[in-house]
Amino acid sequence: MLDLALMLFVVAFLAAGFRRPFVWVLAYLYIDILAPQKIGWSLTSALPISLIAFCAAFAGWLLVDPKRGSRFTFRQFLMLCLLIYCGISTSFADFPVEAAEKWAWVWKALFFAIFFPLTLTTRLRIEGAALIMVLTVSAIIISAGIKTALGGGGYESLYFFVNDNSGLYESSTLATVAIAIIPLIVWFTRHGTVFVPDWRVKAFAYPLIFACLLIPVGTEARTGLICIAVLGVLMLRDVKRRLAFMVAGCLVGLVALPFLPQSYYERMATIGSPSGDESASTRMAVWEWTLDYVGENPLGGGFDAYRGNSFTYDMPVSQKSGNTTAVEYREVTDDARAYHSAIFEMLGEQGWPGLALWLWLQLLGVWQMERLRRRWKDRGPPDSWQAPLASALQFGQIIYLVGSLFQGIAYQPFILMFIGLQCALWSYCRLHDSRRNKGQRARRSPATANSARDAVTAGFPALR
């Protein structure tokens, strides 16, 4: 029954695109984020619905959609360069078979992120795409949040729609994305037009924000706790009463402490002592190996180059005997351990050129959103929505960047879509400013001509 319902919803989504081809872009967002083909077991999994949606979205834009307002931005060019570079590095990868498997989904994510902004030429389209992204990932978040609230959480034991530890269904990735979209949810409660921000929208949005905050608790992802702290610091920039905000945040934290499970405290305690945690110890060992590797291979080793690592380190093991705890160091040999960091993922796989492109792409987005925020923050309606949206997208990207320091999510498709939204907003605002400046110059031209003519006739009375 679930499989049939999912299939009928996807079919209805795609059918709506025959009337409005842009809907096919939204359908692809929904399918790529939620992955209904993994949730279903017969109809949705038997058909290549993701490929169908992407082909429909691209063909609809190419053949039917008006191209007014479509611009190819510099950040799209950077993604294109990264796409080409990744394709070249795949051809000489250390592990060709594994590299080809990763390339099979990375190129699609990058290609769609390059294409995506070209379709977002109006406010309604930008908002609609952001809304579909938030609502789709919220389906996973709400389900996981309910399970957490009912006591069903725990490290690697919080089950989502699918039993697949990849993409957004990986606990740390979901925790990072859940916190990153909170500023965007807040934006919809104030500036949304698809759903007017009345009490009904807020009655859905605020519990959704609470569910987002529950994800790091339910998954016991240490990265999620760090992302919450980063969000709190970022919000200090825009709140009017900062002291009251900080006091309220501390009180909420104190009230929540008694309700957190003991396993959560034990998991978070390892943040302060990474040498005593096997996961953290192996990450640092992998990072050291990666630096040595790129010293010999500055262009990287292609996708999944980490499979060639091998290292030995001393792991502290605590043993309790009554009231006494003894720490014994054991030598551990490990190999083929993943990077667990987007920085080292890019460095190991694409070398210094790939890391430079990726950092340029990310940091340029933070800078562009800051420029938009400052340029548009004092404008009134109907141009009062751009600056808050730029701020929300900037906050989300900063949270992702912090979270990516501890996860190998350099090519995460949802974040690439996030970058696509930024590119679209940047193009929209620049085009809007360009038209506004042309209008002002056009209005000034007749006035300037009249003033010049009056000055001439005033200097030569005989010509009147």
Q: Could you read off the pLDDT of 90-139 as tens digits, one per residue?
A: 999 999 999 999 999 999 999 999 999 999 999 999 999 999 999 999 99
Indicate the domain borders of the chain. 1-65, 138-272, 275-335
Please report the pLDDT score of residue 239 as a whole number: 83
Please report the pLDDT score of residue 389 as a whole number: 96
Please report the pLDDT score of residue 464 as a whole number: 35
Q: b/e for 110-123, b at 16 or more Cβ within 10 A?
A: bbbbbbbbbbbbeb
pTM score:
0.88
Instruction: Report residue 293: phi and psi, to 5°.
Output: -65, -45
DSSP assignment letter at 120: -
Can you state the percent helix, strand and coil of the chain, rounding each to 5? Answer: 70, 5, 25
Which residues, at least 6 apart from 424, have a Cβ–Cβ distance to it below 8 Å? 116, 117, 120, 121, 125, 126, 129
Please report the pLDDT score of residue 383 as a whole number: 83
State the amino acid at position 379 in one-letter form.
R
**Which residue positions in the chain have pLDDT lower than 70?**
1, 152-159, 257-281, 314-327, 329, 439-464
Going from the C-alpha of 284 to that of each of 209, 277, 304, the distances in angstroms are: 33, 11, 18
Q: b/e for 152-180, b at 16 or more Cβ within 10 A?
A: ebbeeebebbbeeeebbbbbbbbbbbbbb
DSSP assignment letter at 377: T
Element containing residue 312 per DSSP (H, E): strand 310-321
Please report the pLDDT score of residue 448 as a whole number: 59
- The HSE-up count of residue 195 (CA atoms within 13 Å, CB side) is 17
Please report the pLDDT score of residue 114 as a whole number: 96
Going from the C-alpha of 177 to that of each of 16, 168, 348, 409, the distances in angstroms are: 29, 8, 24, 11
